[in-house]
Amino acid sequence: MKMDRRQFCALGTAGAFAAIAGGMLGCSSGEKTPAADDKAADAAANTQADAASAKAAAMAMGDADVNFAQEVDILIVGAGISGMFAAIDPAAAGKNVLICEQNGTFGGDAIYSAACQMCSTAKLTQEERPEKYSTPEEIREKFAPYYEEGDPALDFTVLLQTWSGKFIDRMHYDWGYEFQPLRESPYHQAFFPKDGLCTMNSEFQLINQKLEEAGAKYSFETTFKTLITDENGEICGARFTKKDGSIFDVKAKAVVLAAGGYVSNQEWMTRYAPEYADLGNIVSGRKGDAIAAGLAAGGQLWKMGPTSNLNPRYEAGHMLGTFYPIICVLPNGKRFYCETAVHNAATGAIAAGYHEWYTIWDNVAQNGQDQELLKHAGEAIQSADSVDELAEKMGLHIETVQGIFDNWHDICEAQEDAEFGRTLFLQELQPPFYFIRNVPVRYKSLGGLKVDEQMHVLDANDQPIKNLYAAGCTAGTEDIVPAAASGLIVAETLVAEV
């Protein structure tokens, strides 16, 4: 199936606004959609230096004639949790589904994540932990204060939260996955994988099994470059490059953009979340390529901004607080947040004027069941047999470190944390001690392509762009469960429409 450039156009992305500013790459006419033009004009500001190289690379790509190597019903960009869930139901319904993924395996960010799956709308929530269950009306009431009156993003949040329950229930009731039984923790609205924190691999093995049983296929090490349109300007496929640099054009009736967010795109972070732009980033390959492609196709952005929280470089430095007695202190020896409100660690340190903090624990956590969490920190974890040795290794004055333990002793004895209100795990630590020095990092982005409640990508007039869908962070979700939920929603849409 070889078509020349008059018949097919590649919509440029090259992973940067810079490339969008170059227009629809590869179109022989050089035409641009008005929406793409407006967005490009806005987005192109301050990007001149990067523009030249990005554009040159993308133009070379776009110049090659479209030559479809494969034809499918549904083409999904990205094998993260949203892309995988987008694939399963349509494949089971007999559609020919291909997922193209830049990496060598599936799972995206979630497979390496802390695996804390917040959900209060599942049947399983109702059954196991009814005090945490919420109806859609209660969800709306809870989230309404965070949105302006009439903001469609609130409806979308309610929709995602409602479908979040379907993800948990699909895993548990339909597929037999046993989440971890409830443990003492402030997070009873969260589900964890059966083997504890950071063990999402077991869930992904099952999701992958269901995907393969349904008949969906992957093409790994296949990197998305541009969308392709037909002679009527409608999306009809996408262009990828393979590991060896060769071009791989795929024809499809529907394209789902599920390539994650833009946290590793420094330029976008500076633009949309400047307060986090100067922090380190622990995620690679989330450059917003798919979001840029949706914009070039006439889509619009929504919800762009800073994420609800930050991460520590090493997750043990905050996530241990979910289940174990830990003490977190700044270099001045002061505690600075309630350690069981785990995600307040990084933002709390910054708010206190620091870009580092220490987390101290003992054998209760070190020998606990969440070994994978500790493994993620590797050799960053140090141990000490006494307070003196701890002070020496932490590089802090012995009086400062002794003060940490004296203060903690008083809190444990009183069983009251007057300063931060912590009520769980008020237990003294015993040697040997373990500690980690941490820094705040960014690890996810917020905002993406505006979609409707069926996950169609919307144009500037809020009309669906034909054959184009988005899910997960590409559509502006922030966490694991809403990403999976968005995959389930787009799956239902695709079964009906393709």
Ligand X SMILES: Cc1cc2nc3c(=O)[nH]c(=O)nc-3n(C[C@H](O)[C@H](O)[C@H](O)COP(=O)(O)OP(=O)(O)OC[C@H]3O[C@@H](n4cnc5c(N)ncnc54)[C@H](O)[C@@H]3O)c2cc1C
- Summarize as ranges the residues that interact with ligand X (CB under 6 A): 77-83, 100-103, 108-110, 112-116, 223-224, 258-260, 282-283, 285-286, 289, 311, 443-444, 472-473, 478-481, 483
Give the closest residue to 325 by CA, choosing from 405, 439, 418: 405
Nearer CB in complex with ligand X: 177/408 = 177
Please state, as a whole number, how many other Cβ atoms lie within 10 Å of the Cβ of residue 407: 16
Q: Which long-range contacts (CB under 8 A, 24 or more apart) does 451-455 make?
A: 451/156, 451/475, 451/476, 453/155, 453/156, 453/159, 453/489, 454/489, 454/490, 454/492, 454/493, 455/256, 455/486, 455/489, 455/490, 455/493
Nearer CB in complex with ligand X: 200/384 = 200
| Closest CB 349 distance from ligand X, rounded Å | 17
- Tokens in use for 262? 């833009």
Query: Side chain identity at 249, as an amino acid letter?
Result: D
| Closest CB 148 distance from ligand X, rounded Å | 24
8-state DSSP, 174:
I
Biggest distance spanned by C-alpha atoms of the chain:
78
CA distance 133 to 121: 6
The H-assigned helical ranges of 72-226 are 81-92, 123-128, 136-143, 152-169, 201-214
| Closest CB 310 distance from ligand X, rounded Å | 11
| Closest CB 286 distance from ligand X, rounded Å | 6
| Closest CB 424 distance from ligand X, rounded Å | 19
CA distance 140 to 121: 12
Nearer CB in complex with ligand X: 89/101 = 101
CA distance 86 to 335: 44
CA distance 262 to 277: 12
| Closest CB 105 distance from ligand X, rounded Å | 8
Q: Which is it for the CA torsion 70, 76, 78, 83, positive or negative?
A: negative
Any idea how long the chain is? 498
| Closest CB 150 distance from ligand X, rounded Å | 26
Question: Where does 259-400 show beta strands of DSSP type E?
Answer: 280-281, 301-305, 311-312, 327-329, 357-361, 382-384
Nearer CB in complex with ligand X: 200/391 = 200
| Closest CB 24 distance from ligand X, rounded Å | 18
Nearer CB in complex with ligand X: 258/365 = 258
Nearer CB in complex with ligand X: 289/417 = 289
| Closest CB 231 distance from ligand X, rounded Å | 26
- 282 CB contacts (<8 Å, ≥6 apart)? 311, 313, 441, 442, 443
Nearer CB in complex with ligand X: 317/333 = 317
C-alpha triplet 432, 421, 199: angle, nearest 5°? 55
- Tokens in use for 218? 């992957």
Query: Side chain identity at 149, as an amino acid letter?
Result: E
| Closest CB 482 distance from ligand X, rounded Å | 8
| Closest CB 477 distance from ligand X, rounded Å | 6
| Closest CB 338 distance from ligand X, rounded Å | 18
- Tokens in use for 231? 């002679």
Q: Are 481 and 269 in contact (CB under 8 A)?
A: no
Q: Which residue has the tokens 């479908």?
A: 163
Nearer CB in complex with ligand X: 21/115 = 115
Nearer CB in complex with ligand X: 68/204 = 204
Nearer CB in complex with ligand X: 100/411 = 100
Nearer CB in complex with ligand X: 100/429 = 100
Q: Are 398 and 407 in contact (CB under 8 A)?
A: no
- 256 CB contacts (<8 Å, ≥6 apart)? 74, 75, 76, 77, 83, 86, 455, 469, 470, 471, 490, 494
Nearer CB in complex with ligand X: 37/221 = 221
